[in-house]
Amino acid sequence: SNDAFYLRFSKIKNNWKQFYSDNKDNILLFHYIDSDSSNESNFDLFCKMQDDFNLEKGPLFCATLIKEDKKYSLLMIAHHLI
């Protein structure tokens, strides 16, 4: 996988420092949404996905498989720093 998936950032004395994480298990967040059974709008769900990003602990990349009617879509969101 790409090294950018392991990037993390921490704030030390008002300065951001970039480092690579040793945690290989926390590089990707995956969601499955069945729009047929969800009461939330897709926009609200997408906003929640971005809220899951954590600069210090990761992950900074999210993939979501969305089922709507009988079609599937894949949404991928990356934090702008990676």
Q: pLDDT by residue (tens digit) across 27-53?
A: 888 888 887 776 677 777 777 778 878
Q: What is the token pair recorded at 52?
A: 């899951």
**Per-residue pLDDT tens over the stretch 51-79:** 878 899 888 888 889 888 889 989 888 88
In the predicted structure, residue 8 carries a pLDDT above the cut 90: yes
Model confidence pTM above 0.85? no
24-63 burial code (b ≥16 CB/10 A, e <16): eeebebeeebeeeeeeeeeeebbeebeeebeeeebbbbbb
pLDDT at 69: 85
pLDDT at 1: 65
What is the CB neighbour count within 10 angstroms for residue 8? 21
